[in-house]
Amino acid sequence: MNDLSSVMMEPGIVADQSRSLWALVTEHSTYALGVTKEGLVINLHWGPRLATLADLPDPCLALTHSSHDPALTSIAEEYPGFGGLRYGELAAQVVFADGVRDLDLCYERAELLPVKASLSGLTLYLRDRHYPLTLLLRYQLDLANDLIIRSAVWRNEGDEPIRLERAFSAAWHLPHSFASRTLTTLAGQWAGESQIQRRPLVAGTALIESRRGITSLNAAPWLAIESEPMPGQLAPEVYFASLAWSGNWMIRVNYDVTGKTTVVGGISEHDFAWQLAAGETFTTPDFVAGFADDGLNGARQRLHRYVRETVLPTSQALQPRPVLYNSWEATTFDVSEQGQIELAELAARLGVELFVVDDGWFMRRVSDTTGLGDWRPDPRKFPRGLGPLIERVHDLGMAFGLWVEPEMVNPDSELYRAHPDWAYAFPTRARSEARNQLVLNLGREDVRNYLFEALNRLLTEYSIAYLKWDMNRPISEPGWADYLAQGGEARELWVRHTHGVYALMDALRAHHPSLSIESCASGGGRADLAILRRTDQVWTSDNTHPEARLLIQEGFSLALPARVMGAWVTDAGRRQVPLAFRFHVAMLGALGVGGNLIHWSAEEMDEAASWIAIYKQIRHLVQDGEQSWLLSPHATHGQFAAVQYTSQARDQALVFFFWRDQVFGGSHPPLRLCHLKPNAVYRIEPLRALPTASPLQEYPAVLSGAALMATGLPPLLDNWQTHASYLVKLTEITVPPGGSVRTENKPRAESLPVVY
């Protein structure tokens, strides 16, 4: 052991040059890597925080178990490429100009990057032993949130092109362990996004991916792996990861019979190739991963904080998300100046802050068969342009938002008639339409320029605070004849499309710094860490039925925070589900309203206005608090759900409770809360829209944090109600010496003893 080895490691990057290793230390975890004498970069530890460098083993090759299980396969390489005796999960595959397809990377040097905000970084330089190809492995550390953010940069230092056929972002190795492991992923479909899938890891590879050109409704680039607690261990340890990419992606989780667990992922290798010309670089997306010793809620909260603090556009990240009204479910394509003004007037009465006109406002858009691409107001619907509507919306005290779907074109449009070659196609194949539309090639500069001009004109001419950016079909027939003719690699287009979307959004934001953007792809089809660098919220799902929404929102919240989770109260479930329940579900995220207000009764309007007023008072807790799912609707088949939001200081909390039905009657157990200060005393106050509306049973008005966490909040709902829900607010109060508190709302008695 050398001197350095006994030094206690503080959060940050600790290097031991004599042993060629680095420890990436966060508040609660250590991620360590080192270089073997053969020049291989391997993982040495990932998991609970270690105390000193002496805790780490020397970096060396594993023993060869048999000629079929070579050391290069069993070793935990940080970035294994196709080459040599490697048969495990691979991060890369490369073809050199002479046709050699074997990659042989060797460590060259390391560079520590200065700490920026709460992030610090390490870059390792590797080089092929024969060819002029350099690979940078980049590590960033989010100290407070126990996250490692990895990416890779390929650099062709020679004169001949090199072809990348797989260029993932990272390989992650969980500790070799006896523990059984459960993989959680999010899968879905249109109107059924983010459904939680849990499966035990068994030997083999689990694969999640998108090949649709967008993040997709069908799978999210997020996963968690929980280790069953070993005897004597308290909470399950969770490793979790989320990929920052909005195009085709792939994540592979391999588990072998010895318990070795490897995750690799990045841009999908499906129909992917990238021609790295002499002197060029290719940078992969960030792959963010973390370790939580406090279960899935702990993993969720770390990602939420990361998104809020580091990912979201800074202009909006700290602002409260406005309560919005969206006209889509009320009017679909039947949009007119007068009709929208009527809705806007009603929305303003509710206290809505942002009025968004959805699809149907632009040239000849009377159905989904026409108009996409022609981004000008339809004079038949808006004879005076959008100006008078926007003015009225402003007069009513609301900001104005507009729906667009820039990547799309209807064959029945002026744009398509002028530029049929702008849509993806193979010359000898029919173009598959979906929702009567084709996808524009955003890899092309002329297409991006056209779209920038069209959208910039709208944003300049009109006072538009918010764009809802939709994307309603996947890419097909990915041909790009011009590029091919110029000697380009047409299979780059999946990546170039995604880069094109980012570039367009970035340019619009740069020209209109106060603009907000909502990311939508027929619902939550483009919700990921990369799109959230340039958008402010996500349309979670076209399914707005509250029962379905609880399941979808639980899954969504594993990966992304409440402030980006768009949730509207609509007319879905209006006949069966009380308005309070529908509001409570939507108040779990960025609240909006999407029902046809023209048909809402005066009572519904009053109650809705009251819920919106309540939401405005508590939204700082929802949007920026620590979110914990106390009862999982997924685990209870939609029967129950309970969500707690706690302020950073733990002096305030909200609890939402949902009970779908209870056909046998009977009560339910108390609801144990979390994250409170055990020795603090909390006032418990039900928040009701109408004083008489929610028949909560008598409740204890004051309880200690210890009691709320150890014995729980007693049942507050009547046994036989269906679709019952409540929202309570907890506020820390000062207890006078002697330990007795006088309650204001007197639910049971004049004064209650403090229960510890």
Q: Which region among 122-130, 490-498, 520-528, 685-693 touches ligand DGJ (by CB under 6 A)? A: 520-528
Residue 556 CB, nearest approach to ligand DGJ (Å): 14
Q: Residue type at 235?
A: A
Task: Please state the closest distance from residue 216 (CB atom) to ligand DGJ, in A.
Answer: 14
Q: Supply the DSSP string of 546-568, one letter for each residue.
A: HHHHHHHHHHHHHHS-GGGEEEE
Question: How would you label 275-296 residue by residue, b for 16+ Cβ within 10 Å and e otherwise?
Answer: bbeeeeebebbbbbbbbbbbbb
- Parallel, antiparallel or unpaired: strands 724-733 and 652-659: antiparallel
Instruction: Please give the structure tokens belonging to residue 136.
Output: 């940078």
Contact call for residue 542 and ligand DGJ (CB under 6 A): yes
Comparing CA positions, the residue from 357, 353, 362 lying closest to residue 343 is 357
Dist CA 187 CA 198 (whole Å): 10
Beta carbons of 302 and 181 less than 8 angstroms apart? no
Which C-beta is closer to ligand DGJ: that of 306 or that of 375?
A: 375
Query: How far is 495 from 481, CA to CA, in rounded Å?
Result: 16
Cα–Cα distance, 322 to 304 (Å, whole number): 19
Spot the catalytic one: 16, 146, 286, 470.
470
Our answer to whether residue 421 is catalytic in this structure is no
Q: Mask: binding to ligand DGJ, 407-426, rule CB under 6 A, as x and -? A: --------------------
Determine which residue in the list 359, 374, 547, 554 makes contact with ligand DGJ, applying CB under 6 A. 359
* Cβ 334 to ligand DGJ shortest distance, Å: 12
The least CB distance from residue 607 to ligand DGJ, in Å, is: 24
Site string for ligand DGJ, 369-408 (x = CB under 6 A): ----------------------------------x-----
Alpha-carbon distance of 671 to 728, in angstroms, equals 12
Q: Does 215 sit near ligand DGJ (CB under 6 A)?
A: no
Nearer to ligand DGJ, 290 or 592 (CB): 592
106, β-bridge pairs: 127
C-alpha dihedral (554, 266, 56, 50), degrees to nearest 10 = -20
Residue from 31, 139, 480, 539 in contact with ligand DGJ (CB under 6 A): 539
Which range touches ligand DGJ (CB under 6 A), out of 245-253, 516-524, 530-538, 622-630? 516-524
Measure CA 373 to chain center.
28
Q: Which CB sits closer to ligand DGJ, 405 or 626?
A: 405
Residue window 444-473: x/- pattern of binding to ligand DGJ, with contact defined by CB under 6 A: --------------------------x-x-
Got the DSSP string for 417-478? HH-GGGB---TTSPPPPBTTBEEB-TTSHHHHHHHHHHHHHHHHHS---EEEE---S---S-
Contact region with ligand DGJ (CB under 6 A), list: 203-211, 347-355, 515-523, 670-678? 515-523
CA-based nearest residue to 307, from 298, 318, 297, 322: 318
State which residue, 241 or 520, has the beta carbon closest to ligand DGJ. 520
Q: What phi and psi values does residue 251 have, to the nearest 5 degrees?
A: -130, 130
3-class DSSP assignment, residue 134: strand
Tell me if 54 sits within 8 A of 4, measured CB to CB.
Answer: no
Site for ligand DGJ in 255-274 (CB under 6 A): none
- Out of 359, 378, 542, 624, the active site residue is 542
Contacts of residue 49, defined as CB under 8 A and 6 or more positions apart, other chains included, come to: 9, 25, 26, 27, 28, 29, 30
Sequence-ordered list of residues with C-beta below 8 angstroms from that of 272, at least 6 positions apart, any chain: 165, 166, 167, 248, 491, 494, 495
Residue whose CB is less far from ligand DGJ, 522 or 704: 522
Residue 443: CB minimum distance to ligand DGJ, A? 24
User: Could you tell me the smallest distance in angstroms from the CB atom of residue 391 to ligand DGJ?
Assistant: 24
The answer to whether 470 is a known catalytic residue is yes
Q: Which is nearer to ligand DGJ, 201 or 527 (CB)?
A: 527
CB of 539 to ligand DGJ, least distance (A): 5
Residue 155 near residue 507, CB atoms below 8 Å:
no
CB of 405 to ligand DGJ, least distance (A): 7
Which residue's CB is nearer to ligand DGJ, number 128 or number 405?
405
**Residue in 348, 366, 356 with CA at minimum distance from that of residue 390:** 356
Using CB under 6 A as the binding rule, whether residue 328 contacts ligand DGJ is answered as yes
**Residue number, 501 or 520, with CB nearest to ligand DGJ:** 520
List the one residue from 120, 441, 498, 522 that touches ligand DGJ (CB under 6 A): 522
Please name the residue that has the structure tokens 């402003």.
394
Residue with tokens 């990240």, as numbered in its chain: 317
Q: Which is nearer to ligand DGJ, 247 or 525 (CB)?
A: 525
Of the two residues 282 and 361, which places its CB atom closer to ligand DGJ in the complex? 361
C-beta nearest to ligand DGJ: residue: 359
Minimum CB distance to ligand DGJ, residue 453 (Å): 23
396: tokens are 């009513």
In whole angstroms, the minimum distance from the beta carbon of 527 to ligand DGJ comes to 12
Residues between 472 and 501 that touch ligand DGJ (CB under 6 A): 472
Q: Which stretch binds ligand DGJ (CB under 6 A): 288-296, 517-525, 576-584, 730-738?
A: 517-525
- Give the tokens for residue 209: 């991916």
Catalytic residues, by residue number, are 470, 542
| Residues lying near ligand DGJ in the complex (CB under 6 A) | 328, 358-359, 403, 470, 472, 520, 522-523, 539, 542
